[in-house]
Structure 1
């Protein structure tokens, strides 16, 4: 059985669609754990109504303590051998867990991953499930090579919700309390614990962007600090296990320092100085320039000489 954990907080506009997408899965051996994290009376009532309608649904009403506590609560109550997470403003393809489970069993992996399709709150019709081409082309990644995916396929690898997990992977790992970027803080440990993952090319998880009240879309200095801290924690972890490609984690950390510098500058925050200092600290690491390669190193030089020019070049490169 799959235990699917759904933390809920101020997503009433999307909640029913999210829950229905889970209950309508072609893989039906599931329990749905709705974690009401101190949300509105309407959302609490929606949860209770689904409990009455479908015996597979359970709800836990609790005071607001944040996403990490909600997920950890779900893990404590989960009865399934497998774990899934779905954010309550997202929805999933009807065959998502069927495909993920088949891939996991057929390859004897401990994590099964699918691709993510971004959807936007301002679209007239963001129900894209009928347009998805379910090309289930798979590849299996094992052991320390899993860390390379954090760089080459960051979003799909980092987030919790496009995955099916063996529950035992979480035996020693819990989500950090009072931190933003919860996924970033634990993903390297989970990959290390799992040892193997199967990755499907099928886009089966529909990930909402630009929601007005979403944490992701709000400027927050603490959130940026937590993101940087998570990259630092990951870099130290990968270095401590003596992974030969550990310098790539430091190259990624340089990227987050530049990105956060830019966000702080745009929002007139003096915190940009912190990320500038971290950038110069990181580029003093022996061999990091060689690991970054010529083009990335050239970009760093441009950033050192003229940050504004660097960001203009990036903007042009991204077609904005």
Structure 2
């Protein structure tokens, strides 16, 4: 690929206390087949050696720029990178993850195949269970151009299209105005749908190019706190915005809202002090059970989860924790 004919692509890497993972992440970025990169390492107030490692890589590769800032959270770090980027396109990579060497060239190639009528491309994830190094490829070999509306629908049903900020390559104009909600957990569900709302065409390649590392102390796998309830607010915000634009996606977004309650309920199963929250979540699921029981597009796991829940929370807890343990093996 001739560098002179290709645009500058910015890679934004938010960094916070990931000294054990960072080198693998950065090695996968600097060894990309696509060479015309601006690599922004946003050190979000790390207290371990992450900042020092970032500085060392900047000495080795002049495409890297390191910013050390006060801790403001993941969204704040991403937004900071967006404000200082100079590339025509941008992609995000979390600092405890890593990517294939053709991660960027693959997605840029997808845009190229549309004659750049699509302003956003995406690829699929490969889950990496850090305790065992087991890999789970979530994609397939399909390449297709979809409407932004269709991507939202698929996202709501967990059908190949993911809510994550990473594993996407988009025009910088798509990410305007402090794109990510600062200070919120699960910010991806509260922002990615905005990309699809702006796109008539999305170049989708469902090959696994992004290694998503699932580690015990991540946001998703750590213990329950009231902050985890932000998933509900972020999902409901997405649902309201989507239905305002596409009223016929009401059924799809309601399924995603119910899923958010199941997901949060699963988080509470590790806590002894969440009974009130659990009851609130269960009440919502029961009230909206038609959203998945009578929806042919809803995943079968929704229906199975509801049947288990009907047998009582203790039985549901046992079944979920057993599944969770086996999934990580």
User: Is 1:94 paired with 2:101?
Assistant: yes
Q: For residue 279 of structure 2, what is the aligned residue in structure 1?
A: 273
Q: For residue 228 of structure 1, what is the aligned residue in structure 2?
A: 232
Q: For residue 124 of structure 2, what is the aligned residue in structure 1?
A: 115
Q: For residue 223 of structure 2, what is the aligned residue in structure 1?
A: 219
User: Is 1:184 paired with 2:180?
Assistant: no
Q: For residue 113 of structure 2, what is the aligned residue in structure 1?
A: 106
- 303, 308, 312: which one aligns with 2:309: 303
Q: For residue 204 of structure 1, what is the aligned residue in structure 2?
A: 209
Secondary structure of residue in 2 paired with 1:55: coil
- Tell me the distance in 2 between the aligned counterparts of 1:20 and 1:278: 45
Q: For residue 43 of structure 1, what is the aligned residue in structure 2?
A: 50
- Tell me the distance in 2 between the aligned counterparts of 1:206 and 1:18: 10
Contact 1:8 1:87 in 2 (8 A): yes
TM-score for both structures, normalised by structure 2: 0.84
Deviations 1:232-280 (Å, cap 9, x if unpaired)? 1121112211331221111221222233224324422222122123334
Q: 1:299 to 1:35 in 2, by over 3 A?
A: closer
Deviations 1:45-68 (Å, cap 9, x if unpaired)? 211122222110001110111001
Secondary structure of residue in 1 paired with 2:21: helix
- Runs of 5+ unmatched residues, structure 1: none
- Runs of 5+ unmatched residues, structure 2: 1-7
- 6, 10, 23: which one aligns with 2:17: 10
TM superposition shift of 1:121: 1.9
Give the length in aligned residue pairs. 311
- Measured on the aligned residues, the alpha-carbon RMSD in Å equals 3.0
Mapping of 1:109-188 within 5 angstroms? Answer: 109-123=118-132, 137-153=142-158, 156-172=161-177, 174-188=179-193
Q: For residue 26 of structure 2, what is the aligned residue in structure 1?
A: 19
Secondary structure of residue in 2 paired with 1:5: strand
Mapping of 1:220-299 within 5 angstroms? Answer: 220-268=224-272, 269-270=274-275, 271-283=277-289, 290-291=294-295
Question: Which segment is superposed worse, 84-93 or 112-121?
Answer: 112-121
Secondary structure of residue in 2 paired with 1:100: helix
- Tell me the distance in 2 between the aligned counterparts of 1:143 and 1:159: 15
TM superposition shift of 1:136: 5.5
